[in-house]
């Protein structure tokens, strides 16, 4: 009953804005290139990166970017290969490489079928706005959600994903400048330096 009431409230809010409540989650694109900003709430740091996402063969490549000199900061390329359950961390300047076993399962950028519809609204304002839908993994027996995803209504592009743990937000990731397809499939191939990769993760700072 409580879940039904929450769904009805969200649906009523969508109707007020002129948005029709969805019958179910949209289907997100399986392959795309774009950019992202991830905010780590524990450290208070933003991390900007280019991203290539391949949901077909479960691969993600993240290339950290920087616009100004950051003392002591190291920048990396990350290649996640979930079919092999390994991650390569490549230092951009020296090409030093670490090969690390993945412990978390594949978590695609999409809206799971059993998600709860939270809201529908416009990003922006009159004359320049984009319709989006907000979903979560909230269930009646659990007070707080651990995942909230915002996706565009028309093409189901990811806009933002937020994860929480123990009622505290851990990371918020925003996506933008997305282009369908993968321009260069070779970005998922680790460089030759990874043939002699170290087994431990490299530190992000040299200080």
> What mean pLDDT value characterizes the chain?
88
CA distances 29 to 84, 117, 128, 160, 184, Å, are 22, 19, 24, 15, 17
Residue 145 confidence (pLDDT): 84
If one counts every other C-beta atom within 10 angstroms of the C-beta of residue 29, the result is 17
- Residue 186: both structure tokens together: 């070779």
By percentage, how much of the chain surpasses pLDDT 90?
A: 70
Residue 67 confidence (pLDDT): 67
Q: Is the pLDDT reported for residue 6 higher than 90?
A: no
Q: Is the pLDDT reported for residue 181 higher than 50?
A: yes
Identify the residue whose tokens are 């990350």.
Answer: 78
How far is the C-alpha of 50 from the C-alpha of 130, rounded, in Å?
Answer: 22
Across the beta sheet with 147-152, what order do the strands follow? 97-101, 86-91, 76-81, 59-64, 45-54, 31-40, 168-180, 158-165, 147-152, 128-136, 116-125
Domain architecture of the chain: domains with CATH: 31-194 (2.50.20.30)
């Amino acid at each position: 009953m409580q879940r039904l009431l929450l769904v009805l409230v969200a649906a009523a809010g969508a109707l007020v804005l002129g948005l029709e409540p969805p019958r179910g989650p949209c289907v997100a694109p399986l392959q795309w290139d774009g950019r992202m900003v991830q905010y780590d709430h524990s450290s208070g740091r933003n991390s900007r990166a280019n991203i290539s996402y391949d949901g077909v063969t479960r691969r993600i490549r993240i290339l950290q970017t920087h616009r100004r000199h950051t003392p002591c900061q190291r920048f990396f390329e990350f290649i996640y290969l979930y079919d092999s359950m390994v991650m390569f961390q490549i230092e951009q300047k020296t090409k030093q490489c670490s090969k690390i076993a993945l412990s978390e399962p594949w978590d695609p950028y999409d809206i799971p079928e059993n998600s709860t519809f939270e809201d529908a609204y416009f990003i922006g304002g009159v004359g320049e706005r984009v319709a989006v839908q907000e979903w979560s993994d909230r269930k009646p027996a659990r007070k707080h959600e651990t995942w909230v995803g915002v996706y565009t209504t028309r093409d189901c592009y990811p806009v933002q994903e937020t994860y929480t743990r123990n009622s505290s937000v851990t990371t918020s990731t925003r996506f933008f400048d997305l282009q369908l397809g993968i321009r260069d499939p070779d970005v998922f191939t680790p460089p030759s330096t990874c043939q002699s990769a170290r087994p431990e993760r490299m530190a992000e700072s040299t200080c």
